[in-house]
Amino acid sequence: MFDLNDISAPVAVAVELPEDVGLSRTSGLSDALFASDGHQITKRPIRAVTLSSLCPRPGERLWDLGSGSGSISVEWCLAGGRAEAVEMKPARLDAMRRNAEAFGIEHLIQIHAGDSLSLIHDLAKPNAVFVGGGASARLFDTLFAALPAGVRIVANGVTLETEALLIEQQASRGGTLLRIETAQAEPLGTLRGWTAARPVVQWATTT
């Protein structure tokens, strides 16, 4: 308890917010909330599945390699974690910084400009790793050699080359392999039809 003896004119203000204000506590925020370079953003349905596979927990650290606009890092941090995001392209780095500021998580995400292979030895050890871009056999070899046991690794691939790589990695290292296909209803002449997105192959495992 406290008194108001030294306050001559106390004022209380109540603010009534409209409905649907605030961010959902579940993963898979609207794509419209994120700045991007127009290309590199993990779309909402894929992001929701990816975060489910990453299993964010309060206080845990994520390496987001080939992070693009940083949407995975943003939602990881909103779940109570911290992120080390690595990206090479300036436009995507700029979008990531804007997203960190817009969501108020600048203090939770460290943004690194450069190549993942060159930087990961300088990063604080993670609890989970997401490979959203730049996947290679050399990168996975480096991760499995450098990380302690029990680190969760999730990698997404869209190209045939990355799909083949993830199939090979799952065959040799174990884990789960998932193919995600989505389609959205869009106008088709005077009617509507399904427009399919490019399928995403996801490999999830632990070191």
Q: Which fold has domain 31-206?
A: Rossmann fold (3.40.50)
Lowest-pLDDT choice from 4-13, 16-25, 32-41, 194-203: 16-25
- Averaged pLDDT, 108-132: 96
Instruction: Report whether 175 contacts 152 (CB < 8 A).
Output: no
Task: Indicate the pTM of the whole model.
Answer: 0.86
Residue 157's pLDDT is: 97
Residue 191's pLDDT is: 97
Residue 42's pLDDT is: 84
Distance in angstroms (rounded) separating the CA atoms of residues 136 and 115: 12
Residue 47's pLDDT is: 95
